[in-house]
Amino acid sequence: MDTAETAPPGDIDLRAEFESSGVAEVLAELDRELTGLKPVKARIRETAALLLVDRARRSLGLAQDTPTLHMCFTGNPGTGKTTVALKMAGLLHRLGYVRKGHLISVTRDDLVGQYIGHTAPKTKEILKKAMGGVLFIDEAYYLYRPDNERDYGQEAIEILLQVMENNRDDLVVILAGYADRMDLFFRSNPGFRSRIAHHIGFPDYSDAELLTISERMLEEQSYRLSPGARAAVTEYISLRRAQPHFANARSLRNALDRARLRQANRLFEAGGRVNAAALSTIEEEDIRASRVFSGGLDQERPHD
């Protein structure tokens, strides 16, 4: 036996643990499925390393409390926060920190009732569904509305805080929203700040990253951009970014949906036979029909 390659009794090979846990697969999926977001991916890797070391300590009998895993994701819309939350749920499940590894995504309307006695059952029902996994609360700051005396958001907050403290070994809560509004929310609700251990900021995508994302979205549906359309999308991204309510990848997805609609109408109106190439190609005119090129918002949707 080659004793040089045999770990002493009680030693743990962290690299082997990393490979066998499935964490490597989750991180590879993040790199493969999400363009850019380098600082986010780095923080996820750091969190994975923390949890692997924590698991190794536990296996060697080193006493340690369950780490606080509640998180806050901040950034503009369309920067991948929900997708990363889903991957985080899978990572936590593979490492044994949640039983099921599912993600329940909610907003204020899913938690807060409209009359007395309505909020507690709604919030508790959502928490029941989320147990064993991750509860993702988008735009979490809307839970707190101090200007409205009859608002029931505070009741939902109190229930959430209690469960986050008492059930942290069976539920991870991720709050998400704009950075400045989340900061104000934490100042107004210090109980949340004390329970959130990991704060991860999601940067906006660059123009080049958004172009890559656009081509990937189309490729997933067996479409492609012609050279002229690709140039038009590049210009569209620059113009749309300067307009209100720009939502990164979300805005591009909506724009491409409208481009596909224009392509379909163009082909239908032309009539005659079409081949696979024509059915799969978005042309420049399908992109440049957007009102963004004349200074307006794309179609009638101001939030796209």
DSSP string across 23-48 = HHHHHHHHHHHS-S-HHHHHHHHHHH
> What is the average pLDDT value for the chain, to the nearest integer?
89
The Cα–Cα gap between 24 and 101 comes to: 16
Confidence of residue 304 (pLDDT cuts 50, 70, 90): very low
Q: The tokens 């045999």 sit on which residue?
A: 6
The pLDDT tens digits of the residues spanning 63-104 come to 677 788 999 999 999 999 999 999 999 999 988 888 999 999
Give the dihedral sign, CA 33/35/37/38.
positive
pLDDT computed for residue 236 by the predictor: 97
Confidence of residue 12 (pLDDT cuts 50, 70, 90): confident
- Is-contact 156 197, C-beta < 8 A? no
Higher pLDDT, 168 or 249: 249
For the chain, the structural domain boundaries read 3-202, 207-294
Domains 3-202 and 207-294 share a fold: no
**For range 275-294, the mean pLDDT:** 95
CATH of region 207-294: 1.10.8.60
**For range 116-124, the mean pLDDT:** 91
- Is-contact 35 213, C-beta < 8 A? yes
What residue type is 220 in one-letter code?
A: E
Question: Is residue 231 packed enough to be buried (19+ CB in 10 Å), middle (13-18) or exposed (0-12)?
Answer: middle
pLDDT computed for residue 169 by the predictor: 86
Higher pLDDT, 11 or 261: 261
**For range 123-147, the mean pLDDT:** 93
Q: Given a cut of 70, is residue 205 above it in pLDDT?
A: yes
Confidence of residue 300 (pLDDT cuts 50, 70, 90): very low
pLDDT computed for residue 160 by the predictor: 95
pLDDT computed for residue 63 by the predictor: 65
Q: Given a cut of 80, is residue 299 above it in pLDDT?
A: no
Q: Answer left, alpha or beta for residue 209, where phi above 0 means left and psi between -120 and 50 means alpha.
A: alpha
Question: Among the listed ranges 4-8, 143-147, 282-286, 295-299, which one has the minimum average pLDDT value?
Answer: 4-8
β strands within the chain, DSSP E: 71-75, 103-106, 134-138, 172-177, 198-202, 224-225, 281-282
The Cα–Cα gap between 278 and 219 comes to: 15
CATH of region 3-202: 3.40.50.300
pLDDT computed for residue 8 by the predictor: 53
pLDDT computed for residue 1 by the predictor: 41
